[in-house]
């Protein structure tokens, strides 16, 4: 997977798309996002499509955030499954990095704990490969200039 160091989000599309309203014609086309990279084996609702459908239904999005690897990656995998089953529209999975100055104290502490337990980007991607076939939602992996070295 190749990502630009300036990527602000990595979009992992769901292998089991859930069409919220009809008539929507599912299409398999390569999607290009300026601020996102799309990864997946089948078409799914993109983040922008999810927001559009929610807007049509006059609903708001439920987008929980968790830090990958806190307390460990197996717990993160279980949490992703629970968040998916609880009706999350998009799940934001934070990638821990060593200098999270832009984050608040709670996320800083979670990143510190995850890194202390050896969490790294390759391990997170390996965990996601196991979890993604079970999930129905789009997932966003936020990154920043501080964490771009992890993505290279």
pLDDT digits (tens, 9 = 90+) for 58-108: 999 999 999 999 999 999 999 999 998 888 888 899 999 888 778 899 999
**Can you give the residue ranges of every domain in the chain?**
54-136
Report helix, strand or coil for 111.
Answer: helix
Our answer to whether residue 92 is catalytic in this structure is yes
Q: Is the pLDDT of residue 40 over 50?
A: no
Q: Which of 92, 122, 130, 135 is catalytic?
A: 92
pLDDT band for position 1 (50/70/90)?
A: very low
Whole-angstrom distance, CA of residue 41 vs CA of residue 38: 10
Most confident range, picked from 17-26, 35-44, 129-138 = 129-138
pTM of the model: 0.62
Report helix, strand or coil for 1.
Answer: coil
Our answer to whether residue 103 is catalytic in this structure is yes
Q: Which of 103, 122, 130, 135 is catalytic?
A: 103
Residues 6+ apart with CB under 8 A from 34: none
């Amino acid at each position: 997977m190749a990502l630009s160091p300036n990527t602000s989000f990595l979009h992992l599309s769901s292998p089991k798309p859930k069409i919220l309203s009809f008539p929507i014609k599912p299409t398999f086309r390569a999607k290009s996002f300026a601020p996102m990279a799309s990864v997946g084996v089948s078409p799914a609702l993109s983040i922008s499509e999810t927001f559009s459908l929610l807007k049509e239904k006059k609903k708001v999005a439920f987008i929980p955030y968790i830090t990958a690897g806190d307390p460990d990656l197996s717990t993160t995998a279980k949490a992703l499954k629970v968040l998916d089953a609880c009706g999350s529209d998009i799940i934001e999975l934070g990638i821990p990095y060593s200098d999270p100055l832009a984050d608040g104290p709670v996320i800083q502490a979670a990143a510190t704990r995850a890194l202390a337990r050896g969490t790294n980007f390759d391990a997170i991607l390996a965990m996601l490969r196991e979890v993604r076939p079970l999930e129905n939602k789009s997932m966003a992996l936020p990154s920043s200039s501080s964490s771009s070295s992890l993505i290279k």
